[in-house]
Amino acid sequence: MSKFSFMICLLCLIVAQTSSSRGAPLPACELERPVVFGGLDWDSNAFHTEVARIILEEGYGCDTDMIPGSTLPLVTGLGRGDIDILMEIWRDNLVEPWQAALARGDVVDLGINFPDAVQGWYVPRYLIEGDATRGILPAAPELKSVFDLPRYASLFQDPEVPDKGRFYNCILGWQCELLNSAKLRAYGLQPHFTNFRPGTSTALAAAIASAYAKGEPVLAYYWGPTWVLGAYDLVKLEEPAYSAESWSLFANDPDAYPPTAYPQVEVAIGANTRFAADAPQLVAFFQSYRTNNKLVSEALAFLQATPGSTAREAARAFIERRPDIWRAWVPAEIAARLSAPHTVDVETNFPQAWHLPVTDWVNVRIAAFVAAYGGGFEVAGGYVLHLILMVEALLASAPWWLVLLLVAGIGYHATANVFAAAGFAAALFFVGVLGLWDLGLQTLALTFVSVGLSLLIGLPTGIALAKLPRVRRVATPVLDAMQTLPSFVYLIPALMLFGLGKVPAVFATIIYATPPLIRLTDLGVRLVADAFTEVAADLGASRFQQLRDIELPLALPNIMAGINQTIMMALSMVVIASMIGARGLGEQVLLGIQRLDVGQGLAAGLAIVALAVVFDRITQAYGKREIKRVSVLKLISALLRRLRAAAP
């Protein structure tokens, strides 16, 4: 048999096996295209979305897809028809955008998903009652309502503003963030607490989890059903009693009306109008979909208790364990298909028995590392925070015109061009014209500290790699990994070691931005011809003198290119760092994305571009100037003069 015939036979066997593994053919879906879900970025929505996707795929024979995003962009996408279904519409938090979409006829309300969602301001129970098993004494025994918080503000000390407590608000850009900010003002808490707005729900959960694990005070907004409220014993603080009329007035105009406690929210399922008209059978399923707080909390507890599990696996477990719930949502024939043994497509799924528990292994080791060395990192983080605050205070204390003159002076020194220096000053002036001067200074402070620490790490490391080939061979794949890993990955260890705020932002930026400096320093030193160092050695120069007087000056153009790249990469991290609480221009970009405010996002983006242009042109100018100034003969002559001066 020829090789070609053998391959054809093998292919036929694979196709036959694949077809048999799929079992009975599924019915045709009402839609010829995939049903697109909105992937809101919190656990309960992920669970509901995956439950619905499994039922549509295996019961109704539909293809499905999911587009991730935050609330306002996805509600807008629902109205435009970019997505078909949102499994969680928190109508009391989305009063204006949701009602506007309904009024235009762009969306339809398919009924209540679960009727008993909760939200509020929470503190750990051990803060009020203590915890004898953990050796924690009650630090705020009389803390019952939001009006008691000023007495205990020092317990929640914000490390970035030590004379105030820190309140962890809702996610930046969500409607609840605006409502909580208004509550903070209305309750008279603004003089006592900073309004800390995390960029993601994961960051907020991490802040609560970290404080709870350490037995520390924490004051945060949160909502349920979530694994956080299920895993930790938290107490909701009392607020003025809720009434529908008062809440409606406050929610529509938070600055004009007094706040009340959050209502128990009915979370609905929303659909695009055209989808609802084209798929009546699917709409009937979604209208029958009913859960509750307890049920969802059980599913989220499965996620939390099963390391490495996904929302899809939690949904699969729900389908297998709770047919008493979901059978009421679908016709009998659909339920029968869903109850049939679940088959696996052999051509797509990698054998599960071959999976390595890498996730569990890493999580266990990281948890042990944080437990063993977290205190040391907190101390180091305190020094870094002190440095950041010093730089911020220095920049903030300088008049704006003095900062412009200083930048113009540095630019002229680098370029020897009056017009270039004026352009640099104009770029910073543009940041002020956009109304972002203070935020720009915060971004500058973070960039200065990040780049400064990167220089302290990158320059010696690059020199060491150039001098030690064996070390370079080991370090090269590490640097490759550091530059290849998605920048979001660096936020994870930063969160675990330093919590939220400016310090983890600097830490993540250093990891992301230092490799180019190390590589280019290493390259620059290695490119210096051996003949030059041999001449210096023959003249009696030590290795340190060769490095200082010959190699580093000749490598300076490459080193300046590395510094340039480090600065650019540090600036590229400002938006990502805002997700873990770094203030500045990046926060404004993220806020524009979350609220679909194109103007706000564009203005902050232009300000970041202006800073990047200034840094880029100045560092490039210094690099080019050094290329012109470097002369081997001058360097050797200078070295000879030093050696003669040092001779007895």
Q: Do 634 and 488 belong together in one domain?
A: yes
pTM over 0.85: no
- DSSP helix, strand, coil percent of the chain (3-state; round to 5): 65, 10, 25
Nearest-angstrom CA–CA distance, 560 and 451: 13
Q: Do 325 and 387 belong together in one domain?
A: no
User: What are 409-422's pLDDT values in tens digits?
Assistant: 999 988 889 999 99
Q: Do 382 and 289 belong together in one domain?
A: no
Q: Do 185 and 279 belong together in one domain?
A: no
Q: Do 381 and 449 belong together in one domain?
A: yes
DSSP string for 204-262? HHHHHHHHHHHT---EEEEEESSHHHHHS-EEEPB-SPP-HHHHHHHHH-TTTS---PP
pLDDT band at 624, cuts 50/70/90? confident
The domain boundary residue, chosen from 307, 326, 346: 346
The domain boundary residue, chosen from 252, 281, 301: 252
For residue 362, being part of any structural domain is answered with no
pLDDT of residue 129: 93
pLDDT of residue 638: 61
pLDDT band at 629, cuts 50/70/90? low
Structure token pair of residue 204: 């907020």
pLDDT of residue 378: 82
Residue bearing the bigger pLDDT, 62 or 485:
62
Residue bearing the bigger pLDDT, 537 or 648:
537
User: How many structural domains comprise the chain?
Assistant: 3
Residue 596 CB-density burial (10 A; 0-12 exposed, 13-18 middle, 19+ buried) = middle
pLDDT of residue 10: 56
Min mean pLDDT across 149-163, 461-475, 581-595 is at 581-595
For residue 258, being part of any structural domain is answered with no
For residue 641, pLDDT beyond 70:
no
For residue 22, pLDDT beyond 70:
no
What is the mean predicted confidence (pLDDT) over 55-65? 92
pLDDT of residue 646: 59
For residue 366, being part of any structural domain is answered with no
pLDDT of residue 406: 93
Q: Do 240 and 320 belong together in one domain?
A: no
Nearest-angstrom CA–CA distance, 73 and 78: 9
Q: Do 509 and 603 belong together in one domain?
A: yes
Residue bearing the bigger pLDDT, 182 or 493:
182
Measured from the Cβ of residue 431, the count of other Cβ atoms closer than 10 Å reads 27
581: closest CA among 207, 123, 178?
207
What is the mean predicted confidence (pLDDT) over 182-203? 91
What contacts 35, CB < 8 A, 6 or more positions away?
29, 56, 62, 63, 64, 65, 84, 85, 275, 279, 282
For residue 244, pLDDT beyond 90:
no
Per the structure, the complete domain to which residue 394 belongs is given by: 374-646
For residue 392, being part of any structural domain is answered with yes
The domain boundary residue, chosen from 197, 224, 252: 252
Question: Which region, left, alpha or beta, applies to residue 67 given φ > 0 means left and ψ of -120 to 50 means alpha?
Answer: beta
Largest distance between two CA atoms of the chain: 102
User: What are 121-136's pLDDT values in tens digits?
Assistant: 999 999 999 998 989 9
Which ranges in 434-501 belong to alpha helices (H)?
A: 437-467, 469-484, 491-498
* Mean of the per-residue pLDDT values of the chain: 84
Nearest-angstrom CA–CA distance, 441 and 611: 10
What contacts 444, CB < 8 A, 6 or more positions away?
395, 611
pLDDT of residue 342: 59
User: Is residue 612 a contact partner of residue 570, using CB atoms and an 8 Å limit?
Assistant: no
The CATH number linked to 85 is 3.40.190.10
User: What are 370-390's pLDDT values in tens digits?
Assistant: 777 777 888 888 899 999 999
The CATH number linked to 230 is 3.40.190.100
Q: Are strands 157-158 and 161-168 parallel, antiparallel or unpaired?
A: antiparallel
Q: Do 423 and 560 belong together in one domain?
A: yes
pLDDT of residue 381: 87
What is the mean predicted confidence (pLDDT) over 471-498? 83
pLDDT of residue 20: 44
Q: Do 237 and 324 belong together in one domain?
A: no
Min mean pLDDT across 75-79, 148-152, 218-222, 347-351 is at 347-351
Inter-CA distances, 401 with 390, 406, 535, Å: 20, 9, 50
Count Cβ neighbours within 10 Å for each residue of 74-86 and write b for 16 or more, e otherwise. bbbbbbeeebbbb
Q: Do 105 and 127 belong together in one domain?
A: no
pLDDT of residue 346: 47
The CATH number linked to 556 is 1.10.3720.10
Q: Do 488 and 610 belong together in one domain?
A: yes
Q: Return the SS3 of 63.
A: coil
For residue 145, pLDDT beyond 70:
yes
Q: Do 332 and 453 belong together in one domain?
A: no
pLDDT band at 644, cuts 50/70/90? low
For residue 359, being part of any structural domain is answered with no
508: closest CA among 496, 526, 516?
496
For residue 590, being part of any structural domain is answered with yes
Inter-CA distances, 589 with 150, 395, 578, Å: 32, 22, 9
User: What are 555-608's pLDDT values in tens digits?
Assistant: 888 898 899 999 999 988 888 888 887 888 888 888 887 777 788 889 999 999
Measured from the Cβ of residue 106, the count of other Cβ atoms closer than 10 Å reads 17
pLDDT of residue 253: 85
For residue 16, being part of any structural domain is answered with no
User: What are 286-345's pLDDT values in tens digits?
Assistant: 999 999 888 888 788 777 777 667 888 889 888 988 899 999 999 999 888 888 765 544
For residue 10, being part of any structural domain is answered with no
State percent of the chain over pLDDT 70: 88
**Residue keyed to tokens 């100037």:** 625
**Residue keyed to tokens 């519409």:** 89
The backbone torsions φ and ψ at residue 29, rounded to the nearest 5 degrees and listed phi first, read -75, 155
